[in-house]
Structure 1
Amino acid sequence: MTRRPSAGGIGMFTGLSTAMFGALVAWTVSAQQPAPAHPQADVLSIGGSVTEIIVALGQQHRLIARDTTSTFPPDVQSLPDVGYMRALSPEGVLSVGPALILSTEGAGPPEALDVIRAADVTFVEIPEAYSAEGILHKIAVVGDALGVPERADGLASEVGAKLEAAQAQADVAPEDRKRVLFVLSTEGGKINASGRGTAADAIIRMAGGVNAVTEFDGYRQLTDEAVGLAAPDVILMMKRSGDHAAENGDLFAMPAIRLTPAAETRSVVRMDGLLMLGFGPRTADAVIALQQALYGQSG
Protein backbone atom coordinates (compact mmCIF):
# COMPACT_ATOMS: atom_id res chain seq x y z
CA MET A 1 0.00 0.00 0.00
CA THR A 2 1.31 3.44 -0.92
CA ARG A 3 2.08 5.54 2.12
CA ARG A 4 0.57 9.03 1.92
CA PRO A 5 2.51 12.09 3.04
CA SER A 6 1.37 14.12 5.99
CA ALA A 7 0.42 17.77 5.61
CA GLY A 8 3.45 19.97 5.72
CA GLY A 9 5.55 17.30 3.91
CA ILE A 10 8.66 19.04 2.72
CA GLY A 11 8.25 22.06 4.95
CA MET A 12 9.09 20.15 8.13
CA PHE A 13 12.57 19.41 6.74
CA THR A 14 13.45 22.90 5.53
CA GLY A 15 16.73 22.83 7.47
CA LEU A 16 18.02 19.95 5.35
CA SER A 17 19.60 20.21 1.92
CA THR A 18 17.68 18.66 -0.95
CA ALA A 19 20.19 15.84 -1.22
CA MET A 20 20.08 15.11 2.51
CA PHE A 21 16.28 15.12 2.52
CA GLY A 22 16.16 12.79 -0.47
CA ALA A 23 18.47 10.35 1.28
CA LEU A 24 16.43 10.58 4.48
CA VAL A 25 13.16 9.91 2.66
CA ALA A 26 14.64 6.98 0.77
CA TRP A 27 15.96 5.47 4.01
CA THR A 28 12.69 6.09 5.87
CA VAL A 29 10.49 4.35 3.31
CA SER A 30 12.84 1.54 2.30
CA ALA A 31 11.34 -0.84 4.83
CA GLN A 32 7.85 -0.11 3.51
CA GLN A 33 8.41 -0.98 -0.15
CA PRO A 34 5.74 -3.40 -1.38
CA ALA A 35 6.81 -6.67 -2.91
CA PRO A 36 6.66 -6.24 -6.72
CA ALA A 37 4.11 -8.30 -8.63
CA HIS A 38 6.85 -9.34 -11.08
CA PRO A 39 10.54 -9.91 -10.29
CA GLN A 40 11.51 -7.38 -12.98
CA ALA A 41 9.12 -4.67 -11.76
CA ASP A 42 11.21 -1.54 -11.18
CA VAL A 43 9.49 1.30 -13.07
CA LEU A 44 7.19 3.99 -11.70
CA SER A 45 5.13 5.61 -14.47
CA ILE A 46 3.77 9.12 -13.99
CA GLY A 47 1.32 10.23 -16.67
CA GLY A 48 -1.45 8.28 -18.34
CA SER A 49 0.03 8.36 -21.85
CA VAL A 50 3.46 7.28 -20.56
CA THR A 51 1.87 4.26 -18.88
CA GLU A 52 0.00 3.39 -22.08
CA ILE A 53 3.24 3.55 -24.06
CA ILE A 54 5.02 1.26 -21.57
CA VAL A 55 2.22 -1.29 -21.92
CA ALA A 56 2.11 -0.96 -25.72
CA LEU A 57 5.84 -1.68 -25.79
CA GLY A 58 5.20 -4.98 -24.02
CA GLN A 59 6.85 -3.77 -20.82
CA GLN A 60 3.89 -3.83 -18.43
CA HIS A 61 5.74 -6.39 -16.29
CA ARG A 62 8.27 -3.67 -15.47
CA LEU A 63 5.67 -1.47 -13.79
CA ILE A 64 5.94 -1.31 -10.01
CA ALA A 65 3.51 1.60 -9.51
CA ARG A 66 1.67 4.38 -11.36
CA ASP A 67 0.05 7.76 -10.75
CA THR A 68 -3.66 8.56 -10.53
CA THR A 69 -3.94 9.60 -14.18
CA SER A 70 -2.73 6.18 -15.35
CA THR A 71 -6.01 4.30 -15.79
CA PHE A 72 -5.55 2.43 -19.09
CA PRO A 73 -5.42 -0.44 -19.66
CA PRO A 74 -7.74 -1.10 -16.71
CA ASP A 75 -5.52 -3.73 -15.09
CA VAL A 76 -2.81 -1.14 -14.32
CA GLN A 77 -5.22 0.25 -11.74
CA SER A 78 -4.31 -2.67 -9.48
CA LEU A 79 -0.81 -1.20 -9.10
CA PRO A 80 0.06 1.07 -6.15
CA ASP A 81 -1.02 4.66 -6.82
CA VAL A 82 1.46 7.38 -5.80
CA GLY A 83 -1.05 10.22 -6.28
CA TYR A 84 -1.92 12.90 -8.80
CA MET A 85 0.96 13.78 -11.11
CA ARG A 86 0.87 17.51 -10.30
CA ALA A 87 0.68 16.97 -6.54
CA LEU A 88 3.32 14.33 -5.86
CA SER A 89 5.12 13.86 -2.56
CA PRO A 90 8.70 12.53 -2.34
CA GLU A 91 7.69 10.11 0.39
CA GLY A 92 4.83 8.63 -1.64
CA VAL A 93 6.92 8.30 -4.80
CA LEU A 94 9.96 6.76 -3.15
CA SER A 95 7.92 4.43 -0.95
CA VAL A 96 7.27 2.09 -3.89
CA GLY A 97 10.99 1.59 -4.42
CA PRO A 98 11.42 2.44 -8.12
CA ALA A 99 14.78 2.10 -9.85
CA LEU A 100 13.47 4.15 -12.81
CA ILE A 101 10.83 6.89 -12.91
CA LEU A 102 9.33 7.81 -16.27
CA SER A 103 7.40 11.04 -15.86
CA THR A 104 5.48 13.10 -18.34
CA GLU A 105 6.49 16.74 -18.58
CA GLY A 106 4.54 18.94 -16.18
CA ALA A 107 4.59 16.68 -13.11
CA GLY A 108 5.27 18.34 -9.80
CA PRO A 109 5.40 20.31 -7.64
CA PRO A 110 8.98 21.36 -8.52
CA GLU A 111 10.26 21.10 -4.95
CA ALA A 112 9.02 17.51 -4.75
CA LEU A 113 10.79 16.64 -8.00
CA ASP A 114 14.02 18.20 -6.66
CA VAL A 115 13.95 15.80 -3.72
CA ILE A 116 13.05 12.81 -5.89
CA ARG A 117 15.87 13.57 -8.32
CA ALA A 118 18.30 13.81 -5.40
CA ALA A 119 17.48 10.23 -4.36
CA ASP A 120 19.24 7.24 -5.91
CA VAL A 121 16.64 6.84 -8.67
CA THR A 122 16.93 7.41 -12.42
CA PHE A 123 14.39 10.07 -13.40
CA VAL A 124 13.48 10.53 -17.08
CA GLU A 125 11.12 13.31 -18.13
CA ILE A 126 9.06 12.59 -21.24
CA PRO A 127 8.43 15.69 -23.40
CA GLU A 128 4.78 16.59 -23.97
CA ALA A 129 3.64 17.82 -27.37
CA TYR A 130 0.10 17.79 -28.72
CA SER A 131 0.78 16.52 -32.22
CA ALA A 132 1.39 13.31 -34.14
CA GLU A 133 5.10 14.05 -34.15
CA GLY A 134 5.02 14.63 -30.41
CA ILE A 135 3.43 11.24 -29.78
CA LEU A 136 6.05 9.44 -31.86
CA HIS A 137 8.82 11.27 -30.00
CA LYS A 138 7.32 10.23 -26.65
CA ILE A 139 7.34 6.61 -27.80
CA ALA A 140 11.01 6.88 -28.78
CA VAL A 141 12.05 8.45 -25.46
CA VAL A 142 10.18 5.84 -23.42
CA GLY A 143 11.59 3.02 -25.54
CA ASP A 144 15.16 4.29 -25.07
CA ALA A 145 14.67 4.66 -21.32
CA LEU A 146 13.39 1.08 -21.06
CA GLY A 147 16.14 -0.30 -23.27
CA VAL A 148 13.79 -1.45 -26.04
CA PRO A 149 14.44 1.01 -28.90
CA GLU A 150 13.63 -1.57 -31.59
CA ARG A 151 10.19 -2.17 -30.11
CA ALA A 152 9.72 1.59 -29.93
CA ASP A 153 10.55 1.91 -33.63
CA GLY A 154 7.93 -0.70 -34.45
CA LEU A 155 5.29 0.88 -32.25
CA ALA A 156 6.02 4.33 -33.67
CA SER A 157 5.56 3.03 -37.22
CA GLU A 158 2.25 1.44 -36.30
CA VAL A 159 0.95 4.45 -34.39
CA GLY A 160 2.18 6.87 -37.05
CA ALA A 161 0.32 5.00 -39.80
CA LYS A 162 -2.89 5.02 -37.76
CA LEU A 163 -2.57 8.74 -37.05
CA GLU A 164 -1.99 9.51 -40.72
CA ALA A 165 -5.08 7.52 -41.71
CA ALA A 166 -7.20 9.10 -38.98
CA GLN A 167 -6.28 12.63 -39.97
CA ALA A 168 -6.94 11.86 -43.63
CA GLN A 169 -10.44 10.71 -42.64
CA ALA A 170 -10.90 13.90 -40.62
CA ASP A 171 -9.97 16.19 -43.52
CA VAL A 172 -13.09 18.35 -43.55
CA ALA A 173 -13.59 21.24 -45.97
CA PRO A 174 -13.03 24.58 -44.20
CA GLU A 175 -16.57 25.80 -44.84
CA ASP A 176 -18.02 22.64 -43.25
CA ARG A 177 -15.94 22.62 -40.09
CA LYS A 178 -17.90 22.86 -36.85
CA ARG A 179 -17.01 25.25 -34.07
CA VAL A 180 -16.29 23.22 -30.94
CA LEU A 181 -16.10 24.53 -27.39
CA PHE A 182 -14.22 22.26 -25.00
CA VAL A 183 -15.64 22.75 -21.51
CA LEU A 184 -13.32 21.53 -18.78
CA SER A 185 -15.83 22.15 -16.00
CA THR A 186 -19.03 23.99 -15.10
CA GLU A 187 -18.32 24.12 -11.38
CA GLY A 188 -20.06 27.00 -9.64
CA GLY A 189 -22.09 27.74 -12.75
CA LYS A 190 -18.99 29.05 -14.56
CA ILE A 191 -17.69 27.78 -17.89
CA ASN A 192 -14.01 26.83 -17.74
CA ALA A 193 -12.96 26.32 -21.35
CA SER A 194 -9.96 25.63 -23.54
CA GLY A 195 -8.15 28.23 -25.56
CA ARG A 196 -5.07 27.67 -27.73
CA GLY A 197 -2.15 25.34 -27.06
CA THR A 198 -3.97 22.66 -25.09
CA ALA A 199 -4.59 18.99 -25.71
CA ALA A 200 -8.26 19.83 -26.25
CA ASP A 201 -7.40 22.47 -28.84
CA ALA A 202 -5.17 19.99 -30.69
CA ILE A 203 -7.63 17.09 -30.73
CA ILE A 204 -10.43 19.36 -32.00
CA ARG A 205 -8.28 20.49 -34.91
CA MET A 206 -7.01 16.97 -35.66
CA ALA A 207 -10.62 15.76 -35.85
CA GLY A 208 -11.53 18.43 -38.41
CA GLY A 209 -13.15 20.92 -36.06
CA VAL A 210 -12.46 24.54 -35.18
CA ASN A 211 -11.70 25.54 -31.61
CA ALA A 212 -14.39 28.12 -30.81
CA VAL A 213 -12.05 30.01 -28.44
CA THR A 214 -8.68 31.27 -29.68
CA GLU A 215 -8.26 34.55 -27.77
CA PHE A 216 -6.00 33.07 -25.07
CA ASP A 217 -3.69 30.16 -24.30
CA GLY A 218 -4.55 27.39 -21.85
CA TYR A 219 -7.75 27.08 -19.86
CA ARG A 220 -9.73 30.02 -18.55
CA GLN A 221 -13.10 30.83 -17.05
CA LEU A 222 -15.32 32.50 -19.64
CA THR A 223 -17.96 35.15 -19.17
CA ASP A 224 -21.45 34.47 -20.52
CA GLU A 225 -20.79 37.06 -23.21
CA ALA A 226 -17.56 35.34 -24.28
CA VAL A 227 -19.36 32.01 -24.64
CA GLY A 228 -22.04 33.68 -26.73
CA LEU A 229 -19.45 35.27 -28.99
CA ALA A 230 -17.68 31.92 -29.37
CA ALA A 231 -20.94 30.58 -30.88
CA PRO A 232 -20.06 26.88 -30.64
CA ASP A 233 -21.90 24.38 -32.79
CA VAL A 234 -20.89 21.58 -30.41
CA ILE A 235 -19.92 21.37 -26.74
CA LEU A 236 -17.11 18.88 -26.04
CA MET A 237 -16.61 17.53 -22.52
CA MET A 238 -14.97 14.67 -20.66
CA LYS A 239 -17.04 11.85 -19.29
CA ARG A 240 -16.90 12.48 -15.58
CA SER A 241 -18.96 12.37 -12.41
CA GLY A 242 -19.31 14.36 -9.22
CA ASP A 243 -18.98 18.13 -8.92
CA HIS A 244 -17.40 18.51 -12.36
CA ALA A 245 -20.20 16.71 -14.18
CA ALA A 246 -23.09 18.48 -15.89
CA GLU A 247 -26.13 16.63 -17.21
CA ASN A 248 -27.37 17.74 -20.61
CA GLY A 249 -30.43 19.47 -19.22
CA ASP A 250 -28.38 21.45 -16.71
CA LEU A 251 -25.69 22.22 -19.28
CA PHE A 252 -28.05 23.65 -21.90
CA ALA A 253 -30.02 25.57 -19.29
CA MET A 254 -26.93 27.56 -18.26
CA PRO A 255 -27.25 31.24 -19.28
CA ALA A 256 -23.86 31.09 -20.99
CA ILE A 257 -24.84 28.09 -23.13
CA ARG A 258 -28.57 28.28 -23.79
CA LEU A 259 -28.42 30.82 -26.65
CA THR A 260 -25.59 29.13 -28.54
CA PRO A 261 -26.05 27.09 -31.73
CA ALA A 262 -25.00 24.01 -29.71
CA ALA A 263 -27.93 24.52 -27.35
CA GLU A 264 -30.38 24.93 -30.23
CA THR A 265 -29.42 21.50 -31.57
CA ARG A 266 -28.51 20.08 -28.13
CA SER A 267 -25.16 19.03 -29.52
CA VAL A 268 -22.77 17.75 -26.88
CA VAL A 269 -20.02 15.14 -27.22
CA ARG A 270 -18.58 13.42 -24.16
CA MET A 271 -15.41 11.33 -24.36
CA ASP A 272 -13.09 9.50 -22.01
CA GLY A 273 -10.61 12.10 -20.79
CA LEU A 274 -7.43 10.02 -21.13
CA LEU A 275 -8.38 8.78 -24.60
CA MET A 276 -9.22 12.28 -25.79
CA LEU A 277 -6.47 14.32 -24.11
CA GLY A 278 -3.70 11.80 -23.40
CA PHE A 279 -1.88 12.03 -26.74
CA GLY A 280 -0.56 8.50 -26.53
CA PRO A 281 -0.86 5.32 -28.61
CA ARG A 282 -4.68 5.56 -28.81
CA THR A 283 -4.91 9.11 -30.14
CA ALA A 284 -5.82 7.92 -33.66
CA ASP A 285 -8.86 6.22 -32.09
CA ALA A 286 -9.75 9.49 -30.36
CA VAL A 287 -9.48 11.45 -33.62
CA ILE A 288 -11.77 9.02 -35.44
CA ALA A 289 -14.28 8.89 -32.56
CA LEU A 290 -14.48 12.67 -32.33
CA GLN A 291 -14.65 13.12 -36.11
CA GLN A 292 -17.53 10.67 -36.31
CA ALA A 293 -19.32 12.33 -33.39
CA LEU A 294 -19.00 15.72 -35.09
CA TYR A 295 -19.75 14.76 -38.69
CA GLY A 296 -21.11 11.22 -38.82
CA GLN A 297 -19.63 8.08 -40.33
CA SER A 298 -18.91 9.52 -43.77
CA GLY A 299 -16.45 12.19 -42.57
Structure 2
Amino acid sequence: MKPTNRNSPSLFAIVAAMLFALMALAVSAQQSTPPPSPHADVLSIGGSVTEIVAALGQQHRLKARDTTSSYPVEVTNLPDVGYMRSLSPEGVLSVDPSLILSEEGAGPPEALDVIRAADVPFVEVPDALTADGILRKIKVIGAALGVPERAEALVAEVETALAAALADAERPAHEKARVMFVLSTQGGKINASGTGTAADALIRMAGGVNAVTEYEGYKQITDEAVGLAAPDVILMMDRGGDHGAADDKLFEMPSIKLTPAAGTRSVIRMDGLLMLGFGPRTAEAVRRLNDALYAKGT
Protein backbone atom coordinates (compact mmCIF):
# COMPACT_ATOMS: atom_id res chain seq x y z
CA MET A 1 0.00 0.00 0.00
CA LYS A 2 1.34 3.38 -1.08
CA PRO A 3 1.93 5.69 1.89
CA THR A 4 -0.09 8.94 2.08
CA ASN A 5 1.79 12.24 1.96
CA ARG A 6 0.25 14.22 4.77
CA ASN A 7 1.86 17.44 3.46
CA SER A 8 0.15 17.19 0.03
CA PRO A 9 -3.05 19.26 -0.32
CA SER A 10 -6.23 17.29 -0.81
CA LEU A 11 -8.32 17.61 -3.96
CA PHE A 12 -11.03 19.29 -1.90
CA ALA A 13 -8.60 21.93 -0.62
CA ILE A 14 -7.35 22.68 -4.14
CA VAL A 15 -10.89 23.09 -5.51
CA ALA A 16 -11.88 25.29 -2.57
CA ALA A 17 -8.87 27.54 -3.11
CA MET A 18 -9.67 27.89 -6.79
CA LEU A 19 -13.29 28.80 -6.08
CA PHE A 20 -12.20 31.37 -3.50
CA ALA A 21 -9.80 32.95 -6.00
CA LEU A 22 -12.49 33.14 -8.68
CA MET A 23 -14.94 34.76 -6.24
CA ALA A 24 -12.32 37.32 -5.24
CA LEU A 25 -11.68 38.19 -8.89
CA ALA A 26 -15.40 38.63 -9.53
CA VAL A 27 -15.80 40.95 -6.56
CA SER A 28 -12.76 42.95 -7.67
CA ALA A 29 -14.15 43.31 -11.20
CA GLN A 30 -17.49 44.51 -9.86
CA GLN A 31 -15.76 47.11 -7.72
CA SER A 32 -13.57 48.46 -10.54
CA THR A 33 -16.31 48.49 -13.21
CA PRO A 34 -19.61 49.61 -11.70
CA PRO A 35 -22.73 48.57 -13.58
CA PRO A 36 -24.62 51.16 -15.65
CA SER A 37 -26.93 53.32 -13.59
CA PRO A 38 -30.47 51.95 -13.49
CA HIS A 39 -31.65 55.58 -13.30
CA ALA A 40 -30.36 56.64 -16.75
CA ASP A 41 -33.49 58.04 -18.37
CA VAL A 42 -32.69 61.58 -19.61
CA LEU A 43 -31.84 62.74 -23.12
CA SER A 44 -29.98 66.05 -22.99
CA ILE A 45 -29.94 68.26 -26.10
CA GLY A 46 -27.55 71.22 -25.98
CA GLY A 47 -24.02 71.44 -24.62
CA SER A 48 -24.82 73.83 -21.78
CA VAL A 49 -27.86 71.78 -20.74
CA THR A 50 -25.70 68.68 -20.42
CA GLU A 51 -23.08 70.62 -18.45
CA ILE A 52 -25.74 71.82 -16.01
CA VAL A 53 -27.12 68.29 -15.56
CA ALA A 54 -23.62 67.13 -14.64
CA ALA A 55 -22.96 70.14 -12.38
CA LEU A 56 -26.15 69.29 -10.50
CA GLY A 57 -24.72 65.85 -9.73
CA GLN A 58 -27.19 64.14 -12.08
CA GLN A 59 -24.82 62.88 -14.76
CA HIS A 60 -25.78 59.30 -13.88
CA ARG A 61 -29.29 60.12 -15.15
CA LEU A 62 -28.08 60.81 -18.69
CA LYS A 63 -29.10 58.15 -21.20
CA ALA A 64 -28.09 59.96 -24.40
CA ARG A 65 -26.95 63.36 -25.67
CA ASP A 66 -26.61 65.47 -28.80
CA THR A 67 -23.43 66.21 -30.75
CA THR A 68 -22.86 69.60 -29.08
CA SER A 69 -22.68 67.94 -25.65
CA SER A 70 -18.96 67.34 -25.16
CA TYR A 71 -18.36 68.29 -21.51
CA PRO A 72 -17.70 66.61 -19.15
CA VAL A 73 -15.72 64.39 -21.50
CA GLU A 74 -17.35 61.24 -20.08
CA VAL A 75 -20.67 62.15 -21.72
CA THR A 76 -19.12 61.57 -25.15
CA ASN A 77 -19.42 57.84 -24.41
CA LEU A 78 -23.21 58.14 -24.45
CA PRO A 79 -25.34 57.51 -27.57
CA ASP A 80 -25.38 60.59 -29.84
CA VAL A 81 -28.75 61.56 -31.38
CA GLY A 82 -27.21 64.12 -33.78
CA TYR A 83 -26.69 67.87 -34.06
CA MET A 84 -29.26 69.82 -32.04
CA ARG A 85 -30.41 71.96 -34.99
CA SER A 86 -30.93 69.03 -37.36
CA LEU A 87 -32.53 66.36 -35.20
CA SER A 88 -34.62 63.48 -36.52
CA PRO A 89 -37.60 62.22 -34.50
CA GLU A 90 -36.52 58.62 -35.13
CA GLY A 91 -33.03 59.25 -33.74
CA VAL A 92 -34.32 61.04 -30.65
CA LEU A 93 -37.06 58.56 -29.79
CA SER A 94 -34.90 55.51 -30.55
CA VAL A 95 -33.01 55.97 -27.27
CA ASP A 96 -36.32 55.66 -25.40
CA PRO A 97 -35.88 58.56 -22.92
CA SER A 98 -38.25 59.20 -20.04
CA LEU A 99 -37.42 62.93 -20.11
CA ILE A 100 -36.02 65.21 -22.82
CA LEU A 101 -34.21 68.38 -21.78
CA SER A 102 -33.66 70.58 -24.82
CA GLU A 103 -31.88 73.87 -25.21
CA GLU A 104 -33.96 76.54 -26.91
CA GLY A 105 -33.18 76.67 -30.63
CA ALA A 106 -33.16 72.93 -31.27
CA GLY A 107 -34.83 71.81 -34.46
CA PRO A 108 -35.96 71.66 -37.14
CA PRO A 109 -39.46 72.73 -36.00
CA GLU A 110 -41.23 69.88 -37.80
CA ALA A 111 -39.00 67.34 -36.03
CA LEU A 112 -39.75 68.92 -32.66
CA ASP A 113 -43.50 68.74 -33.43
CA VAL A 114 -43.24 64.97 -33.84
CA ILE A 115 -41.04 64.60 -30.75
CA ARG A 116 -43.38 66.72 -28.64
CA ALA A 117 -46.34 64.63 -29.81
CA ALA A 118 -44.71 61.47 -28.45
CA ASP A 119 -45.61 60.44 -24.93
CA VAL A 120 -42.35 61.77 -23.45
CA PRO A 121 -42.03 64.85 -21.18
CA PHE A 122 -40.21 67.57 -23.14
CA VAL A 123 -38.70 70.55 -21.30
CA GLU A 124 -37.31 73.46 -23.32
CA VAL A 125 -34.55 75.33 -21.50
CA PRO A 126 -34.48 79.06 -22.32
CA ASP A 127 -31.43 80.42 -24.09
CA ALA A 128 -29.18 82.80 -22.14
CA LEU A 129 -26.73 85.55 -22.98
CA THR A 130 -26.53 87.12 -19.50
CA ALA A 131 -25.59 86.08 -15.99
CA ASP A 132 -29.26 86.10 -14.95
CA GLY A 133 -30.10 83.93 -17.94
CA ILE A 134 -27.56 81.30 -16.89
CA LEU A 135 -29.04 81.17 -13.40
CA ARG A 136 -32.53 80.76 -14.87
CA LYS A 137 -31.33 77.82 -16.97
CA ILE A 138 -29.99 76.10 -13.86
CA LYS A 139 -33.30 76.55 -12.03
CA VAL A 140 -35.35 75.20 -14.94
CA ILE A 141 -33.17 72.10 -15.28
CA GLY A 142 -33.06 71.54 -11.53
CA ALA A 143 -36.87 71.66 -11.36
CA ALA A 144 -37.23 69.27 -14.31
CA LEU A 145 -34.86 66.78 -12.67
CA GLY A 146 -36.55 67.08 -9.28
CA VAL A 147 -33.49 68.53 -7.52
CA PRO A 148 -34.45 72.17 -6.82
CA GLU A 149 -32.31 72.32 -3.68
CA ARG A 150 -29.20 71.34 -5.60
CA ALA A 151 -30.12 73.89 -8.24
CA GLU A 152 -30.33 76.67 -5.65
CA ALA A 153 -26.90 75.71 -4.32
CA LEU A 154 -25.42 75.72 -7.82
CA VAL A 155 -27.11 79.05 -8.58
CA ALA A 156 -25.45 80.61 -5.54
CA GLU A 157 -22.05 79.21 -6.53
CA VAL A 158 -22.28 80.29 -10.17
CA GLU A 159 -23.71 83.71 -9.28
CA THR A 160 -20.79 84.43 -6.96
CA ALA A 161 -18.21 83.30 -9.53
CA LEU A 162 -19.81 85.35 -12.31
CA ALA A 163 -20.05 88.51 -10.21
CA ALA A 164 -16.36 88.29 -9.32
CA ALA A 165 -15.27 87.58 -12.92
CA LEU A 166 -17.35 90.45 -14.32
CA ALA A 167 -16.04 92.88 -11.71
CA ASP A 168 -12.44 91.93 -12.44
CA ALA A 169 -13.01 92.33 -16.20
CA GLU A 170 -14.27 95.92 -16.02
CA ARG A 171 -12.09 98.47 -17.83
CA PRO A 172 -12.35 102.14 -18.90
CA ALA A 173 -13.93 102.51 -22.33
CA HIS A 174 -10.78 103.95 -23.89
CA GLU A 175 -8.74 100.89 -22.85
CA LYS A 176 -11.05 98.25 -24.28
CA ALA A 177 -9.76 96.07 -27.12
CA ARG A 178 -11.78 95.80 -30.32
CA VAL A 179 -12.50 92.10 -30.83
CA MET A 180 -13.88 90.34 -33.91
CA PHE A 181 -15.19 86.83 -33.44
CA VAL A 182 -14.64 84.81 -36.61
CA LEU A 183 -16.93 81.82 -36.88
CA SER A 184 -15.38 80.52 -40.10
CA THR A 185 -13.14 81.39 -43.03
CA GLN A 186 -14.82 79.14 -45.56
CA GLY A 187 -13.94 79.96 -49.15
CA GLY A 188 -11.59 82.70 -48.02
CA LYS A 189 -14.51 84.75 -46.69
CA ILE A 190 -14.95 85.91 -43.10
CA ASN A 191 -18.11 84.84 -41.27
CA ALA A 192 -18.17 87.09 -38.21
CA SER A 193 -20.39 87.72 -35.20
CA GLY A 194 -22.50 90.83 -35.07
CA THR A 195 -24.65 91.74 -32.08
CA GLY A 196 -27.09 89.51 -30.19
CA THR A 197 -24.87 86.42 -30.18
CA ALA A 198 -23.10 84.44 -27.47
CA ALA A 199 -19.78 85.64 -28.89
CA ASP A 200 -20.88 89.28 -28.69
CA ALA A 201 -22.09 88.83 -25.12
CA LEU A 202 -18.88 87.13 -23.96
CA ILE A 203 -16.66 89.76 -25.58
CA ARG A 204 -18.48 92.50 -23.67
CA MET A 205 -18.53 90.54 -20.40
CA ALA A 206 -14.75 90.02 -20.70
CA GLY A 207 -14.06 93.75 -21.01
CA GLY A 208 -13.79 94.01 -24.78
CA VAL A 209 -15.73 95.74 -27.55
CA ASN A 210 -17.32 93.83 -30.40
CA ALA A 211 -15.73 95.29 -33.53
CA VAL A 212 -18.75 94.32 -35.66
CA THR A 213 -22.07 95.96 -34.72
CA GLU A 214 -23.73 96.69 -38.08
CA TYR A 215 -25.95 93.59 -37.99
CA GLU A 216 -27.30 90.88 -35.67
CA GLY A 217 -26.23 87.26 -35.66
CA TYR A 218 -23.50 85.62 -37.73
CA LYS A 219 -22.93 86.76 -41.30
CA GLN A 220 -20.37 86.52 -44.07
CA ILE A 221 -18.91 89.99 -44.53
CA THR A 222 -16.91 91.74 -47.21
CA ASP A 223 -13.19 92.46 -47.08
CA GLU A 224 -14.04 96.15 -46.85
CA ALA A 225 -16.29 95.56 -43.82
CA VAL A 226 -13.50 93.68 -42.05
CA GLY A 227 -11.13 96.59 -42.70
CA LEU A 228 -13.65 99.10 -41.36
CA ALA A 229 -14.18 96.97 -38.24
CA ALA A 230 -10.43 97.35 -37.53
CA PRO A 231 -10.19 94.63 -34.87
CA ASP A 232 -7.30 94.68 -32.44
CA VAL A 233 -7.81 90.97 -31.77
CA ILE A 234 -9.32 88.05 -33.69
CA LEU A 235 -11.26 85.57 -31.54
CA MET A 236 -11.89 82.04 -32.84
CA MET A 237 -12.82 78.57 -31.67
CA ASP A 238 -9.81 76.31 -31.12
CA ARG A 239 -10.57 73.77 -33.81
CA GLY A 240 -9.20 73.28 -37.29
CA GLY A 241 -10.71 73.48 -40.73
CA ASP A 242 -12.88 76.42 -41.76
CA HIS A 243 -13.61 77.20 -38.12
CA GLY A 244 -9.98 77.72 -37.16
CA ALA A 245 -7.54 78.67 -39.90
CA ALA A 246 -3.90 78.52 -38.78
CA ASP A 247 -2.26 81.82 -37.86
CA ASP A 248 -0.18 82.19 -41.02
CA LYS A 249 -3.15 81.49 -43.26
CA LEU A 250 -5.43 83.74 -41.21
CA PHE A 251 -3.17 86.78 -41.24
CA GLU A 252 -2.40 86.40 -44.95
CA MET A 253 -6.08 86.67 -45.88
CA PRO A 254 -6.66 89.95 -47.79
CA SER A 255 -9.54 90.87 -45.49
CA ILE A 256 -7.43 90.44 -42.34
CA LYS A 257 -4.00 91.43 -43.59
CA LEU A 258 -4.33 95.19 -43.05
CA THR A 259 -6.14 95.09 -39.68
CA PRO A 260 -4.46 96.08 -36.40
CA ALA A 261 -4.84 92.43 -35.31
CA ALA A 262 -2.69 91.27 -38.21
CA GLY A 263 -0.06 93.87 -37.40
CA THR A 264 0.44 92.36 -33.95
CA ARG A 265 -0.62 88.80 -34.94
CA SER A 266 -3.20 88.90 -32.17
CA VAL A 267 -5.51 85.91 -32.24
CA ILE A 268 -7.17 84.15 -29.31
CA ARG A 269 -8.52 80.62 -29.63
CA MET A 270 -10.85 79.10 -27.06
CA ASP A 271 -12.93 75.96 -26.66
CA GLY A 272 -16.22 76.58 -28.44
CA LEU A 273 -18.52 75.18 -25.74
CA LEU A 274 -16.67 76.97 -22.95
CA MET A 275 -16.84 80.24 -24.87
CA LEU A 276 -20.36 80.12 -26.31
CA GLY A 277 -22.23 77.71 -24.03
CA PHE A 278 -23.28 80.15 -21.32
CA GLY A 279 -23.46 77.54 -18.61
CA PRO A 280 -21.76 76.82 -15.26
CA ARG A 281 -18.27 77.55 -16.67
CA THR A 282 -18.99 81.01 -18.10
CA ALA A 283 -17.13 82.76 -15.28
CA GLU A 284 -14.06 80.74 -16.30
CA ALA A 285 -14.59 81.78 -19.93
CA VAL A 286 -14.81 85.46 -18.94
CA ARG A 287 -11.58 85.26 -16.97
CA ARG A 288 -9.71 83.38 -19.69
CA LEU A 289 -10.73 85.81 -22.40
CA ASN A 290 -10.03 88.84 -20.24
CA ASP A 291 -6.60 87.50 -19.32
CA ALA A 292 -5.81 86.78 -22.97
CA LEU A 293 -7.03 90.18 -24.17
CA TYR A 294 -4.95 92.11 -21.68
CA ALA A 295 -2.04 89.68 -21.18
CA LYS A 296 -2.50 89.37 -17.44
CA GLY A 297 0.17 87.51 -15.58
CA THR A 298 2.74 87.95 -18.33
TM-score bracket, shorter-length normalisation: 0.7 to 0.9
Normalized against structure 1, the TM-score is what?
0.87
Is the 8 Å Cα contact of residues 37 and 64 (structure 1) preserved in structure 2? no
Q: What secondary structure is seen at the aligned counterpart in 2 of 1:183?
A: strand
Number of the residue aligned with 2:278 = 279
Work out the percentage of aligned pairs sharing the same amino acid: 72
Q: Which has the higher contact order (CA 8 A, sep 6+)?
A: 1
1:1-299 correspondence runs (5 A): 37-297=36-296
Is the 8 Å Cα contact of residues 237 and 243 (structure 2) preserved in structure 1? no
Q: What secondary structure is seen at the aligned counterpart in 2 of 1:141?
A: helix
Q: Structure 1 unaligned runs (5+)?
A: 1-35
Partner Cα separation in structure 1 for residue 148 and residue 173 of structure 2: 39
1:298 Cα shift? Answer: 6.2
1:242 Cα shift? Answer: 2.8
1:173 Cα shift? Answer: 1.0
1:37 Cα shift? Answer: 3.0
Partner Cα separation in structure 1 for residue 287 and residue 243 of structure 2: 26
Q: Deviations over 1:29-88 (max 9, x none)?
A: xxxxxxx93100100000000000000000001000000000000000000000000000
Is the 8 Å Cα contact of residues 236 and 244 (structure 2) preserved in structure 1? no
Partner Cα separation in structure 2 for residue 95 and residue 222 of structure 1: 41
Is the 8 Å Cα contact of residues 86 and 107 (structure 2) preserved in structure 1? yes
Q: What secondary structure is seen at the aligned counterpart in 1 of 2:287?
A: helix
Normalized against structure 2, the TM-score is what?
0.87
Q: What secondary structure is seen at the aligned counterpart in 2 of 1:257?
A: helix
Partner Cα separation in structure 1 for residue 169 and residue 187 of structure 2: 35
1:105 Cα shift? Answer: 0.1
Runs of 4+ residues deviating >3 angstroms: none
Q: Structure 2 unaligned runs (5+)?
A: 1-34
Partner Cα separation in structure 1 for residue 244 and residue 106 of structure 2: 25
RMSD: 1.1
Is the 8 Å Cα contact of residues 44 and 66 (structure 2) preserved in structure 1? yes
Q: Deviations over 1:173-223 (max 9, x none)?
A: 111000000000001000000000000000000000000000100001110
Is the 8 Å Cα contact of residues 185 and 244 (structure 1) preserved in structure 2? yes
Aligned length: 264
Is the 8 Å Cα contact of residues 276 and 283 (structure 1) preserved in structure 2? yes
